[in-house]
Each structure stands twice: as structure tokens, then as C-alpha cells.
Structure 1
């Protein structure tokens, strides 16, 4: 039997950094990922369905950046991040916290997903403060405000859908199926009527823009500057800059103008797909969250 060729050291280092950022563990098997194999039910999302497919795609690397940029345009959501998040001191920690929620809801059992939702909810109960709205009036906020929960859900869904459409493959059932599938996550976060179609999602996003609830200010500019060039070095830093440009390219001109960003002169789609292929190779073929979910499903005979 022949042994596999050794992985080049730069690729091995990149893999460890990526897995630490994405799963909170350099092996990709953080305790919460291993726990996905446990549980006694099939979870909220069907195997190989729309949410499984989109969230397993490499386009999620673009979507994460896009979601943070878009969410920053709501002054209430941005106030919560600015006042309560350590994204500057610990950007990897904030990223892994969000990734943990997405992975657990998508691939975990209902019991595990409910526990993760409750964990996030307990943190949100403490998040409160004031912000200046798009109309210039001061307002109080909590992370549980329905308007803010709706905005975060819409921004997330739009980011992952648009990024997958641009840089991923087909979605089972199409875009409407993904929006309807991920609406389950919105309901778990106590959003009673999340959008169920691509058209409804687009209309709600346009509604936020048309009502003047979104705005650009110095805090938005600060977030954009940080997200444009976070403290990543080496290959990861080069790859990130391409992914940032890829995220910007998926925005309509109206949103790019609000964020104060421009499309790159680079051939973004071609370069991004190359970076995503390299990243996929760096991550390797080891077990992933969906593999842990399949172990649970096979054990349960589902």
C-alpha cells in the first residue's frame, strides 16, 4: 500500500487556520461538531436539502463577509455589534461563534439545535443600548427586537443565497426552496413570518432600503475598513482579500454605494473560484459536520 504524499507545509498551516476560524478547532472537529453525530432525531433540515447544500458549499466563505457588511447598514444591528462584540480584539472568536450556530442548526438534531438557539438567546437577553436611527432620532434597542431579528435574518439569507448563486452549484428546488428552508432558522429565533420565496426576500430587503432604516455613518466606515483588511497574514490574507472583493461584487450598485465600496478591477469570479478550489483542497477530505449528521441519520435508520 502506498502512502499519501505529504501535505506542503504552507497548505497545512492554511488548513489549520481555516479550520480554527470555521469550526473553532484546527482539526475541524470541535466538540460541538462531534456532537452532531449524537441525538435521537433527524434535525430541522433534510439531508442534501437546500440548507444542507448551500451551507456545505465553499461560497459560505464569501457569504460570511457579505452578511457582516450588509448587517452593518442597520444602525441598531451595528450598535449591538459595536457595543457588545469583541470583533476587533477577537475576529476569529466572533466568526466561530456564528459558524457554530449555523452548523448546529443546519446539521444537528433538533435537541442540539434548540440548545444552541437557547445559548444564543441567553446572550441576546443582555444586549441592549441606544442608537441613532436613519431618521436621526435616538432609539433604544435590544437584540431581541423583532425588527432587528428580521433584518439579521434577511441579511443572512440574502448573503448565503447570493453568494451560492454566484460561486456555488445548483440548489435543490432552487432559490425559493432555500429561502423557505432557512425560514425555519428565523422561526427558531422567534421571527413569526420570515420570507418564504426569493421574491419576498428581495422585497423585504428593498423595503428596508426604501424606508430609510439603513444608513452609512462613521461606524459603518469603520466596519468596512476592518472587514476589508482584518489581521490575517500570508496565504490566508491573500485569499481573504479576494473573498472580500467577491462579496462586494455580489451587491447591487445601490448597496455598494451605501457601503462606500467599489467592485474590484480584478476578474473577480474567476479568481474567487480559483481561491475556493485551493481552499477546498486545503481543507481536505476529512470528516465534516454533514458527515457527522449522516452518522446520526444512519444510526437512526433515517
Structure 2
């Protein structure tokens, strides 16, 4: 059966899902660097991004498209099916030879699932630090839903660990035995510092006003990107992390948790998540 014929048979997530309550909060953007580092440290993903991505030339556009895709997968309803098909079609052309001399393809199920699965892990981790830890029961439901989105994306049942315990063992094994330091990791780490990053196009900030803001933004993104990583991967990438850094991350987490309780949903949530939830409230 073709992918196009099979994908629509998977029911997209709806308002009864845990994912609708844990994805869509703007605070989770603080963990974007961690998610990307986990992904590009996988040799297949790192090679594909190095050879085919333009994120260094258009970092804000690339980030915006990535977030919009994720929100479509969770909140899009039937749009999630179209987004899954678009992603698979786009990834068909992403192939080549990596720096180990091995051929790679972006639709390799191992790599395709790693991107999806590591996003789950990062979302749970970001909630622990910046929102509130998910209760065990909700975390299990969230993982089961994430597998469902994986099926929508074209993965098969056997590509994904069956339950949360299986996923956690799988994740630890990939971190310990599969992830690596590579050119894309180093390029991404430089990009996160925002030293040469232009202002976001939606801010309409002139360079003169953006210049003094940029270092603070880069420091926060770097702190979060490194601090949320599994310690074993931090060590492999030779990333410095001190007790002072840990205290700074905890303080930032306390601030974001407190602020989130006072910010209205219209501002706290991404528009696609807010609209979906608002429509559900109406119905």
C-alpha cells in the first residue's frame, strides 16, 4: 500500500489528547536548541542538514517553518495528514554520502523516528524545567499519542518502542552509542550564540537596536540548549556545564513558570494552538 493511501487512515490528534495541552506554549521555544542538537548529532540527520538545509542563511524562517509544521501535526486535524505527506515528499530528495563515507537518506526509518522521538523527549524535558513536570500517567498517554503521530508521518509500529519504558531505554541507548560530534553540531552551536543572527523579520527592529539585545538572547538560548541536554551527550560534545550554569537554568525555569501563570492564553500560546483550543471551547 502506498504511503499516500495509508496516511489518511490514521486519526489525527484532537482536543482530548495530552498533546493538545503540552504542545503550543511559547515557553517551549527555550528548548529548541536542545531538540536541534539531539537531532543533528545523529549522523544521518547531521549529514542531511549539512548538505540540504539553509538554516544558517535563514535561521528565523527555518525556525518558523519547523514550529508551524509541528503545530500542524498536533493541532491541524485533517491538515495534519496533508502536512505528513508534505514532509515525506520533501524528505525524498534529501540523500547523499556522510562524512563517514556512508550513504544516507532522510527517510531512513531510524533517523526519521529519531527526529520525531527526540522531539517527544525534549518536550517532556522542557515541561519539567519551564512549565511543570508531566505526571507519569499523562506522560504515558503523551507517548502513545506521539506514536500515533509517528504513524501519521509514515513510520511503522515496529519502528517505534511500544511503551514509555521502551522509549526511555531506546533513547538512552541512542545517546550512548549513536550520537556523535560533527560539523553540523558545531555549526548549530555557533548559530545558537546569535553572534551573526539578524533580527527576527516580524520585529521590524533596525540593526542598531538589535545589536545590544542579541548577546543576551544568545546567552539564554545557549544556556538552555546545553543545560537541557542529557549529561552524557554534553560530555561527548565537550560542552562546559558548571554548578553556576545549573543555578542560572533553574532560576530561568522558575521565572518562566511564574510568568506563564500570569500571561493570557492568547499571548502564551502559538496562534495555531490558541485557535484550535478556542474552536474546541466554542463547540
Say which of 180, 190, 200 aligns to 2:144: 180
- Aligned partners of 1:77 and 1:148 also within 8 Å: yes
Residue 113 of structure 2 corresponds to residue 150 of structure 1: yes
Cα distance, 1:105–1:269 mapped onto 2, change above 3 Å: same
Higher helix share: 2
Is the 8 Å Cα contact of residues 192 and 221 (structure 2) preserved in structure 1? no
Matched ranges for 1:43-82 at <5 A:
44-47=12-15, 49-82=17-50
Instruction: Please list the CA deviations of residues 170-194 of structure 1 after superposition, one character each: whole Å capped at 9, or x if unmatched.
Output: 5373322221111222112222132
Q: 1:224 to 1:239 in 2, by over 3 A?
A: closer
1:1-302 aligned within 5 A: 44-47=12-15, 49-109=17-77, 111-132=78-99, 136=100, 138-171=101-134, 173-193=137-157, 194-210=160-176, 212-229=177-194, 231=197, 233=210, 234-235=212-213, 237-263=215-241, 265-266=244-245, 267-274=248-255, 284=267, 288-297=271-280, 301=283
Distance 2:42 2:253 in 1: 28
Shift of 1:46: 3.0
Residue pair 2:131, 2:256 contacting (<8 A) in 1 also: no
Q: How many residues matched?
A: 252
Q: Contact 2:85–2:153 (CA<8 Å) still a contact in 1? A: no
With normalisation by structure 2, the TM-score equals: 0.78
Alignment CA distance shift 1:117-1:155 (3 Å): same
Given that 1:124 and 1:143 are in contact with CA atoms closer than 8 Å, whether structure 2 keeps it comes out as: yes
1:294–1:213 CA distance, 2 compared to 1 (3 A): closer
Report if aligned partners of 1:66, 1:247 keep a CA contact under 8 Å in 2. Answer: yes
Q: Give the TM-score, by structure 1 length.
A: 0.73
Instruction: Give 1:297 shift.
Output: 3.6
For structure 1, the residue ranges without an aligned partner over 5 or more in a row are: 1-42
| Cα displacement (A) at 1:161 | 1.2
